[in-house]
Amino acid sequence: MSASQTYRSTRSKVDQAVSFEDAVMTGLAKDGGLFVPSQIPKLPSDFLEKWSDLSFEELAFNILRNFIAASEIPDADLKLLVEKSYSTFRTKDVTPLVKLDSHDNLYLLELFHGPTYAFKDVALQFVGNLFEYFLTRKNAAKKEGEQRDIITVVGATSGDTGSAAIYGLRNKKDVSVFILYPTGRISPIQELQMTTVLDDNIHTLSLKGTFDDCQDLVKQVFNDSKFNDKYHVGAINSINWARILAQITYYFHAYFQLVKQLPEAEKKNLKVKYVVPSGNFGDILAGFFATQLGLPVEELVIATNENDILDRFLNTGKYDKASTVKATFSPAMDICVSSNFERLLWYAIKATTAGGDDNKAGEILAQFMSDLSSKGIFEVAPETLAKIKSDFDSRMITNELTGATIKDTYASTSNHYILDPHTAVGIATAQKKMAVDPEAKSTKYIALSTAHPAKFSEVVNESLGGFEGYSFEDQVLPEEFKQLSNIPKKIKLVESTDLATIEAIIVEELSKEKKV
Ligand SMILES: *Cc1c(COP(=O)(O)O)cnc(C)c1O
């Protein structure tokens, strides 16, 4: 295995390389850190020409190949995994790039054409196939009657993660999925998307409690080492490296689509900025890896809602956890801390205060993370902040501006483009940036569109209800969503939120599935 294709923990003080398979199947390192590639390869200098006409699937294969050793997944198998993962998308381009004609130089990268209409599908369709691939291989080597290896995925959701995980993992051999959500606190469409999946291996648990209670329980299940050893608890949230990895592709794909759409004169000295609605920092982190591979990106712009820990960090160098989460119009970005930011910090610390030393970077970061959990805050050195700011910028967008942006975009585009509230946070950020960018005339902004507006009907209808001729049913709601309420539902209502109850339910369902 070559050095570039092993993984290490962001908190480790010694070099303990693990394989891609172990990094993906365990999710989190034993020391509580996140897995990062030991080295990031640099693509050959002619890749911009050579890759310019590749399909989404071909690009995905080339990028994945740089982070997964061929000894772990041979070329032919990797190709099949990629093809299978993106065959479920509704457009041939997988993630099409469209221009908003309300502005010069403003583009939207539509990431919502997967099975659940959210950007998380791009990664989770692949992760599901990957889990199945590794388990099938392990179990093929077992003797008759020997216990099969399984993975028991346990996750909490306030909306999009749950349905995207369910659609990624439904009907996968040796995989069982338990998704916990707070009763009555997710949107009706999102609940229907999850509970109408009837496959035996999918279990949705509606819990009497808050999203934080659900997340707490998931952490407790992970930390119960006896339970974890026995049932192989797996993670599908964006701490899982495979999710970040799968998202790198669309940064390249968007770049090449943009070049194709531009007149010849504008292709030279092209400057591209990506604007990304961010919560746990998984989506935009994939953009960082794209730049490290060699994609020429002028800037990555973090768009946050009023839960703005990232924007405050970029302004001060202090990572200061808020005491409560604010409920905003863009609920998938309502977070107190941004879990994947740890990965970026590791690289920035390594390049600055750790003098290029991996282990020293792990040591410094482990201390920061311990300060975060004991004091709720840590502060990085000025040179670490400067390093991050050389690649990133940020803006915070209020609820009010989010709604106004949905409205303005509808009014000012010739096709009455309808944004979902998360995407609106990105568009508002792009507009704020363009207004003060001295090179706005020659810079292309690509805003990532992370969800379909039908998933967030309340805000969208509130913003657009006043327009004559606007109709949610006709202009927004996909045919598939209209059918959902006619499909039978499978939900388990859980009255209590204690660990013993949840673990008992998991074991009971696994035994019904004949997995234990
Ligand atoms: C998950 C999600 C986000 C935030 O993505 P991160 O990777 O957590 O930063 C933004 N928008 C939508 C619609 C999402 O589902």
Would you say the CB of residue 334 lies under 6 angstroms from ligand 1? no
Would you say the CB of residue 333 lies under 6 angstroms from ligand 1? yes
Ramachandran angles phi, psi of 176, nearest 5°? -120, 145
Distance 61 CA to ligand 1 centre (A): 24
Dihedral sign, Cα of residue 210, residue 211, residue 214, residue 219 = negative
Residue 160 alpha carbon, nearest atom of ligand 1 = 15
Within 13 Å of residue 2, how many CA atoms lie on the same side as its CB? 11
The one-letter amino acid at 84? K
CA angle 155, 128, 215 (to 5 degrees): 10
Distance 119 CA to ligand 1 centre (A): 7
Across 126-260, the runs of DSSP E, i.e. the strands, are: 151-156, 175-182, 202-207, 233-234
In tens, the pLDDT along 213-258 reads 898 899 899 889 999 999 999 988 888 999 999 999 999 999 999 9
The pLDDT score that the predictor gives to residue 74 is: 97
Q: What percent of the chain has pLDDT over 90?
A: 88
Taking the C-alpha atoms of residue 247 and residue 94, their distance in angstroms, rounded to an integer, is 12
**120 assigned to active site:** yes
Total H helices, total E strands in the chain: 21, 15
Would you say the CB of residue 280 lies under 6 angstroms from ligand 1? yes
Please check whether residue 460 is in contact with residue 410, taking contact to mean a CB–CB distance below 8 angstroms: no
Which of 50, 79, 92, 120 is labelled catalytic?
120
The pLDDT score that the predictor gives to residue 4 is: 58
Would you say the CB of residue 282 lies under 6 angstroms from ligand 1? yes
Distance 276 CA to ligand 1 centre (A): 9
Q: Which pTM value belongs to this model?
A: 0.96
- Sorted by sequence, the CB contacts under 8 Å of residue 112 that are 6+ apart come out as 118, 119, 121, 420, 449, 450, 451, 452
Query: Which of 307, 333, 336, 337 has the most ligand 1 atoms within 8 A of CB, as the residue to mutate?
Result: 333
pLDDT at 1 exceeding the cut of 70: no
3-class secondary structure, 285: helix
Would you say the CB of residue 277 lies under 6 angstroms from ligand 1? yes
Place 194 in a pLDDT band, splitting at 50, 70 and 90. very high
Residue 422 alpha carbon, nearest atom of ligand 1 = 11
Overall average pLDDT of the 289-307 stretch: 98
The pLDDT score that the predictor gives to residue 211 is: 83
The one-letter amino acid at 403? G
In tens, the pLDDT along 445-478 reads 999 999 999 999 999 999 999 999 999 999 999 9
Q: What percent of the chain has pLDDT over 70?
A: 99
In tens, the pLDDT along 108-156 reads 999 999 999 999 999 999 999 999 999 999 999 899 888 899 999 999 9
Query: Which pair of structure tokens corresponds to residue 330?
Result: 């863009």
Domains of the chain, earliest start first: 97-115+247-462 (3.40.50.1100)
In tens, the pLDDT along 26-71 reads 888 989 899 999 999 999 999 999 999 999 999 999 999 999 999 9
